[in-house]
Structure 1
Amino acid sequence: MCSLLVAGSGVAQDVEPIVEIPPEPVTRPNIVFILADDLGYTDIAPYGSEVNTPTLSALAEQGVRFSNYHTAANCAPARAMLLTGVGNHLAGVPNIPEMLAPEQRTHAHYQGVLGDNVVTVANLLEGAGYHTYMAGKWHLGSTPNKLPSRRGFQRTVAMMDSGADNWEQRPYLPIYDQANWFADGERFTLPEDFYSSRFLIDKTIEFIDSNIGNGQPFFAYVSFMAVHIPVQAPQSFIDRYMGVYDAGWDVLREQRLQRAVESGLVPADTAMTRVSTTGDWDALDDDRKRYEAKRMAVYGAMIEAMDFHIGRLVEYLKSSGQYDNTIFVFTSDNGSEASGPADPEAFPARLGPAGQGYHTDYERLGLQGSYNSISPGFASASASPLSFYKFYTGEGGMRVPLIIAGEGLPRKQVSTPAFAWATDITPTILALAGVEAPGARYAGRPVLPMSGRDLSPLLSGNADRVYGEEDAVGYELTGHAVLFQGDYKLVVNQPPLGDGQWRLYNIARDPGEVVDLASGQPVIFQRMLARYQLYARDNGVLPLPAGYTQMRQLVTNALHQQYREVILLFLLTLLVLMPFYVAYRMKRKR
């Protein structure tokens, strides 16, 4: 008991002191953000796939599936939006650097690397007391100031490039001299027993475990290389899919449509278009059918292997007492990739992989040393029932799975048809963590405001949508362009698959983009076209150089990279020999 002097009495009395009891500390959730690479809309079981993905199916049961979530049509632009909440053109990533033309690179916002005018979700969570970890593909810049270890991640093991081998440290394209892996800001050599999905989860568990006892929450970004080319998987997983795809891509596309309808992801009357690159399965001979089916079997195996290793992370979190306080966000950077050759056994198709030291043998397909990719036909099935695929602004290139799950979330086993966009992920993570978005300045420099929306009202059931009927979201990639507004989508796809004509679809009723409403809804069409022009102006979208195509520029950049040293040596030799040549010519003139 304390002896206190009561005011005005002049005498000391025994009085209980007033003690302020601090409020119970708010337990902030751990957040695991899992990003697949080139995963199609119906490539996992909760979205209608035949591929066995029990971990992702369980997560879908613990949260909300988004049936109308969209992302960029290729990887680096999507990653910029996902990690910053800012549109990719403004964030400095209008395209992957491997496809940028020299004329475009003269502009500061066309470098293909994450700009200093944006803040990553890792920066903000680290500033709020979170441990921040990253394992996997980065592809947002490889110079020292662009590494993930300089963008808010405390522990990292990261692959810098657009892709790499999944079995060993080797590049998959001649545009790279080596597979560029970094750990905590320093060059890193992969272990001998490397397989990408297993390794990335091993490192994530290692990072989390290193600080698990100090009471601070963690943010773990796991950026898988599955199912980007080269498509590779352990034999034990491949064996499970042998024979599954023998009926071909048309049958698979129809089967996935039916399952997507049954699960409520798309309307019952959803129609599909046939992409022009989808070949005639019945016209193939038996050997080709056998080979094509195995290409897809390896693809399915790689997805299941990814799911298996996510399951290992889930089990670790459960055994360490972290699972109940962890929120999971799972999605893909873009839709399925169809750049695999239609006939991988033809000489031109084998020439590229052979130049990199790969084989395409049937018996060893998907194993170490193998270069594998799915055909355009199976890529179309992977995106079923949507049209187009990666690099195009059709739904197949942009609409992908999104699952947000966790024991602490109020809604479970539900699906939402609300439109959502890649820039929404960072604001949602910040809201779930109780962390404010940055102001006009961060760390002493001006930064752009986030344009994404917080999706947590959809998770709680307090709202049916976070975008109003008049809210517009634009996007552009090498002339392929789109504007979303309400249930409508204004879109243009350039050749070779598109025709360069603007079209209008109601993607809530017609996700397969079959019925063009442009002529029947001219007011909506013109209004949205005007809104897209505003987007292009405000985001600094540049016109394409004459004759530009994605593949031509990729090949040109690859050749430039491959022969750059030879050219430099030639120029240096000329520089050294020039004085002797000049002296020789002057001597001849005398």
Structure 2
Amino acid sequence: MLRRTLYCGLLLMAPVLAQAAPPNIVLILADDLGFTDIQPFASEIATPSLAALADNGIRFTNHHVAASCAPTRAMLLTGVDSHLNGVPNIPEAMPPSQRGRNGYDGVLSHRVQTVATLLREHGYHTYVSGKWHLGKDASRLPDQRGFERSVILADSGADNWSQRPYLPMYRTAQWYKDGQPHQLPNEFYSSEYIVDQAIAQIDSQHGDGQPFFSYVAFQAVHIPVQVPAAYRAMYESHYQQGWSALREQRYRAAVAAGLVPPSTALTAMNSTADWMALSNAQQRDWARRMAVYAGMVQAMDHHIGRLVEHLKTLGEYDNTVFVFMSDNGPEPADPVARFGLPFVLWMKAMGFNTDYGTLGERDSYVVIGPGFASAAASPLSYYKYYAGEGGLRVPMIIAGAGVAAPGRQSPALTHVTDIVPTLLDLSGAAPPGDDYYQPSGKSLLPVLADQRERVRGEDDALGYELGGNAALFKGDYKLVKNLPPAGDGRWHLYNIVSDPGESRDLSESMPERLAAMLADYEDYARRNGVLAVPDGYDQLQQVSWNSIMARKTEWLSAGLLLFVLVYGGLLWRRKRLRG
């Protein structure tokens, strides 16, 4: 109680922009969206709704999240480091040696409170629609974590056209509404449906004088990448030159827009194949896949625009704060290439195809692979899963009520754990009680109010780890380690202000800084209970193994049946030959 009283006293003295009433809050999360995938961040993809929000707000060009979805989502809703909030890795990629130890559960801990709980206690209506992925037992669904109304996908992803899983580990796509299993309608497209539900939730209690918090979590552009054909058609001619040309194009656009400095060097990822070595048919196929991806981004933007226009119609737009970001960098995985025939057979059994003529449409299974994922993260290095900037640095826009001097860009080092403290300051809500872990991030209110350029000092250390890939940010510098296959498993040091592409390793020329930051990382790991991954750990390989174990009885039965059929066929053939 004393801590909350002190907090309220400090809040009254803070330089907060005056509001006629507590603002509504709309928190929008894209899935696997790259740094330069939207128009306000130098993309060729048309996203006018997000461009309008950027014009009415601030673009944060040095914003960081986790390199995988659930850890980011847990930090976004609690402000607490992923190793303390229960989700240091997605449960689908958790190695057995870690599961259940030191809070390595892969589901949201009961030792943290969500921002929805805190806002609801402060008089807000609280809603969520879209992907959840923070636990599906009754105590961890949104209705028990502070949300009044909820329509959510509990899994890591799903088909965007129907209630169908996207990986063999899932038997179905598990949707819930207000804590109960939910059946999707026959006519369904994820981005449209998620916004429809958000609008319905807001309308259900509108006019009673209470502000609302709406968390809108898209499936776009998580695999399978899918979109109505009309959106794909808008980009059919855009990507014929391939992923390296697109990466170069976006690099130049990002420099011209001031998102990164001219000193940025464009590095090539070792996982990016030579476009010119592909056949004409392969080039045509991959170019259309990227057109599907671009169309899915634009479709998401269209439905964001629908939500914004609805708030204007209700008269709520002027008193609403919008926060938009991605949960991590772009997805490089290609399950067909990685898992081969077993995955192809599973796709066939589920009714998926990769037919060129209908790519992205109903029943289509599309990925963009490491080549176009690298382009989506341009000019940064790496992508989802890895601790390189392409995996961690994502676009963020904060717009609307409480933002001074809109239209700005901020190069301040920010982190996903900063969102909860910021929303608490904007709303006037109190932080969690003493029985819970406290948010570790910094409030961005001074930047929103145009009173300070940074919220972190030169000596503030910000640690990170996920699946053995690790980083520590301090001032303008970043210490980083990426495991194979894309990384080399060694620590590197970069100035990510002058070199956000992480092209110039400073570890040998700045040994004292390297040693100091290594000590800072070890302190972070100790305080947050970071566990080492097993030797040879690979997140995607672990997902594959966990998929097999989740359905081991069925796989064993299928294997036994196949053995019987093959062995029986051989016996029959031998008998025929002898006869």
TM-score, normalised via structure 2 length: 0.91
CA contact (8 A) 2:548 2:555 kept: no
Q: Does residue 105 of the first structure (1) align with residue 99 of the second (2)?
A: yes
User: Cα–Cα, structure 1 residues 546 and 261, in superposed 2: closer, same or farther, change >3 Å?
Assistant: closer
> Partner amino acid for 1:90?
L
Structure 2: distance between partners of 1:344 and 1:50: 30
Q: Give the 3-state SS of the residue equivalent to 2:99 in structure 1.
A: helix
Structure 1: distance between partners of 2:205 and 2:409: 35
Structure 1 residue 334, shift from structure 2 partner: 0.4
Q: Does residue 512 of the first structure (1) align with residue 506 of the second (2)?
A: no
Structure 1 residue 106, shift from structure 2 partner: 3.5
Residue 3 of structure 1: aligned partner: none
Structure 1: distance between partners of 2:46 and 2:149: 31
Which of 546, 554, 557 is the matching residue for 2:543?
554
> Partner amino acid for 1:503?
H
Which of 182, 187, 193 is the matching residue for 2:181?
187
Residue 474 of structure 1: aligned partner: 463
Q: Does residue 254 of the first structure (1) align with residue 248 of the second (2)?
A: yes
Residue 530 of structure 2: aligned partner: 541
1:392-441 deviations in Å (ceiling 9; x for gaps): 0000000000100005521201001000011001111111111121231x
Which of 367, 373, 376 is the matching residue for 1:373?
367
User: Cα–Cα, structure 1 residues 457 and 274, in superposed 2: closer, same or farther, change >3 Å?
Assistant: same
Structure 2: distance between partners of 1:118 and 1:329: 22
Residue 452 of structure 2: aligned partner: 463
Q: Give the 3-state SS of the residue equivalent to 1:536 in structure 2.
A: helix
User: Cα–Cα, structure 1 residues 391 and 52, in superposed 2: closer, same or farther, change >3 Å?
Assistant: same
Structure 1 residue 534, shift from structure 2 partner: 0.6
- Per mean C-alpha deviation after superposition, the further-off stretch among 221-230 and 557-566 is 557-566
Which of 236, 243, 250 is the matching residue for 2:237?
243
Residue 266 of structure 2: aligned partner: 272
1:452-481 deviations in Å (ceiling 9; x for gaps): 110011111111100100000111111110
TM-score, normalised via structure 1 length: 0.89
Structure 2: distance between partners of 1:284 and 1:306: 31
Residue 190 of structure 2: aligned partner: 196
Structure 1 residue 565, shift from structure 2 partner: 6.2
Q: Does residue 483 of the first structure (1) align with residue 477 of the second (2)?
A: no
Q: Does residue 318 of the first structure (1) align with residue 312 of the second (2)?
A: yes
Q: Does residue 420 of the first structure (1) align with residue 409 of the second (2)?
A: no
Structure 1 residue 68, shift from structure 2 partner: 0.3
Structure 1: distance between partners of 2:66 and 2:138: 26
Q: How many correspondences in the alignment?
A: 542
Residue 570 of structure 2: aligned partner: none
Structure 1 residue 248, shift from structure 2 partner: 0.7
Structure 1 residue 351, shift from structure 2 partner: 4.2
Q: Give the 3-state SS of the residue equivalent to 1:268 in structure 2.
A: coil
User: Cα–Cα, structure 1 residues 147 and 283, in superposed 2: closer, same or farther, change >3 Å?
Assistant: same
User: Cα–Cα, structure 1 residues 566 and 64, in superposed 2: closer, same or farther, change >3 Å?
Assistant: closer
Structure 1: distance between partners of 2:239 and 2:336: 16
> Partner amino acid for 1:125?
L
Q: Does residue 74 of the first structure (1) align with residue 68 of the second (2)?
A: yes
CA contact (8 A) 2:151 2:176 kept: yes
1:540-583 deviations in Å (ceiling 9; x for gaps): 11111243221221111111111246879xxxxxxxxxxxxxxx
1:21-43 deviations in Å (ceiling 9; x for gaps): xxx99411100000000000000
Which of 373, 384, 405 is the matching residue for 2:399?
405
Alignment of 1:138-537 (within 5 A): 138-340=132-334, 350-440=344-434, 446-537=435-526
Structure 1: distance between partners of 2:90 and 2:339: 28
User: Cα–Cα, structure 1 residues 346 and 540, in superposed 2: closer, same or farther, change >3 Å?
Assistant: closer
Structure 1: distance between partners of 2:555 and 2:497: 54
Which of 83, 86, 91 is the matching residue for 1:89?
83
> Partner amino acid for 1:181?
W
Structure 1 residue 177, shift from structure 2 partner: 1.0
Which of 16, 22, 36 is the matching residue for 1:42?
36
Structure 2: distance between partners of 1:331 and 1:394: 18
User: Cα–Cα, structure 1 residues 520 and 234, in superposed 2: closer, same or farther, change >3 Å?
Assistant: same
Structure 1: distance between partners of 2:340 and 2:107: 36
Structure 1 residue 272, shift from structure 2 partner: 1.4
Residue 573 of structure 2: aligned partner: none
> Partner amino acid for 2:139?
N
CA RMSD of aligned residues (A): 1.9
Residue 58 of structure 1: aligned partner: 52
CA contact (8 A) 1:345 1:360 kept: no
Structure 1 residue 301, shift from structure 2 partner: 0.4
- Per mean C-alpha deviation after superposition, the further-off stretch among 378-387 and 426-435 is 426-435
1:357-403 deviations in Å (ceiling 9; x for gaps): 31010011101111101021100000000000000000000000010
Structure 1: distance between partners of 2:347 and 2:82: 31
Query: Max radius of gyration: which structure?
Result: 1
